[in-house]
Amino acid sequence: MTILDGKSYASTIRTKIKDRINTLQTKPGLAILLVGDDPASHIYVNLKQKACEEVGIHFEKCEYTADVSESELIKKITELNNRDDIHGILVQLPLPTQNANHVIAAIDPRKDVDGFHPKNLEALRANKPALAPAVVLGILKLIDKAVQGRERSGLHATIISSDFFAEPLQILLREQQISSDIVRPSDPLFIQKTTEADILIVALGKPNLIHADMIKHGAILIDVGTTKVDGKLVGDIDRASVESRAGALTPVPGGVGPMTVAMLLLNTLNAYGKQKRTS
């Protein structure tokens, strides 16, 4: 079984981004809105800040208490939309009680480096250029590594996640001639569908949901789940169980997470380039 070392792949991508930024006269800027005191959210934002500092992206963290109003968040986003030195804006999810859709919709789509603005999703559906979700781009890079030049046409992916997460992933998989479907654990044919998948992508946050008897021999397994169990980070796939059967697997931690951060940096650099060309 091949371990898809997202940490190593992401390091290579970050080096290329840093080299590119070193040639620029001004620096890309990223602002993150962090609401509440969820420990995981704070860890993720700190990782993003560290990555930005490493490659030379200007970083701003806007922190708020859990009871902040949506209108105050939107006011801040409007201010950031109008700043020439901020090229990417991200709202760290989940929000405690605020409506994430309302808040994200306030972001200028050109600065939506997380890729979940309705206008960017609409552009993706229409096969138009758009900022795609960083996590989806990270997953596609990992699949690229696993496929390694094999014929993609005929490969089928099964996605175990919400529709919101799966939709942009399905669109970009389709562009690569990989068919896909979304399945829920409540589906009576759940195990049949998972065992037929050439590529299995799991993003539910249910520790060790997937076992060896639920996967196809040689399948590519992309584990997006991260849950703390007894102080240890655990994915949605039971690694020990699937190791002798899977063809490739993303570890947790060290798989999808680092690739998502790397793609966020790349989205910020690309957003900077586009805004500079159109300003």
- Residues 104 and 190 occupy one common structural domain: no
- Identify the pLDDT of residue 269: 98
- Residues 139 and 242 occupy one common structural domain: yes
- Residues 150 and 253 occupy one common structural domain: yes
What the block records as the tokens of 146 is: 């696993």
pLDDT digit string, tens, across residues 73-93: 999 999 999 999 999 999 999
Q: Give the β-pairing of 88-91 and 58-64.
A: unpaired
Residue 264 lies in a domain: no
- Residues 89 and 186 occupy one common structural domain: no
Q: Which of 26-30, 68-72, 95-99, 229-233 has the lowest mean pLDDT?
A: 229-233
Residue ranges for the known binding site are 226
Of the pLDDT bands very low, low, confident and very high (cuts 50, 70, 90), residue 152 is confident
Residue 173 lies in a domain: yes
What the block records as the tokens of 258 is: 């680092």
Residue 20 lies in a domain: no
CATH number for the domain that contains residue 195: 3.40.50.720
Residue 268 lies in a domain: no
Residue 90: domain span: 25-112
Integer angstrom CA distances of residue 214 from 1, 93, 109, 119, 192: 16, 30, 39, 37, 8
Residue 218 lies in a domain: yes
Q: Do residues 41 and 34 touch, judged by C-beta distance below 8 A?
A: yes
Backbone angles phi, psi at 145, to 5 degrees: -65, -40
Question: Bigger pLDDT: 278 or 269?
Answer: 269
- Residues 46 and 93 occupy one common structural domain: yes
CATH number for the domain that contains residue 64: 3.40.50.10860
Single-letter amino acid code for the residue at 35: V
- Residues 43 and 151 occupy one common structural domain: no
Residue 182 lies in a domain: yes
Of the pLDDT bands very low, low, confident and very high (cuts 50, 70, 90), residue 151 is confident
Q: Round to whole Å and give the CA distance between 184 and 160.
A: 6
pLDDT digit string, tens, across residues 175-207: 999 999 999 999 999 999 999 999 999 999 999
- Residues 148 and 193 occupy one common structural domain: yes
Catalytic positions, written as ranges = 48, 92, 114
Backbone angles phi, psi at 265, to 5 degrees: -60, -40
Q: What predicted TM-score, i.e. pTM, was given to this entire model?
A: 0.95
Residue 273 lies in a domain: no
- Identify the pLDDT of residue 53: 98
- How many structural domains does the chain have? 2
Residue ranges for the known binding site for NADP(+) are 226
pLDDT digit string, tens, across residues 88-119: 999 999 999 999 999 999 999 999 999 999 99
What the block records as the tokens of 156 is: 């089928």
- Residues 102 and 138 occupy one common structural domain: no
- Residues 160 and 214 occupy one common structural domain: yes
pLDDT digit string, tens, across residues 203-259: 999 999 999 999 999 999 999 998 888 989 899 999 999 999 999 999 999 999 999
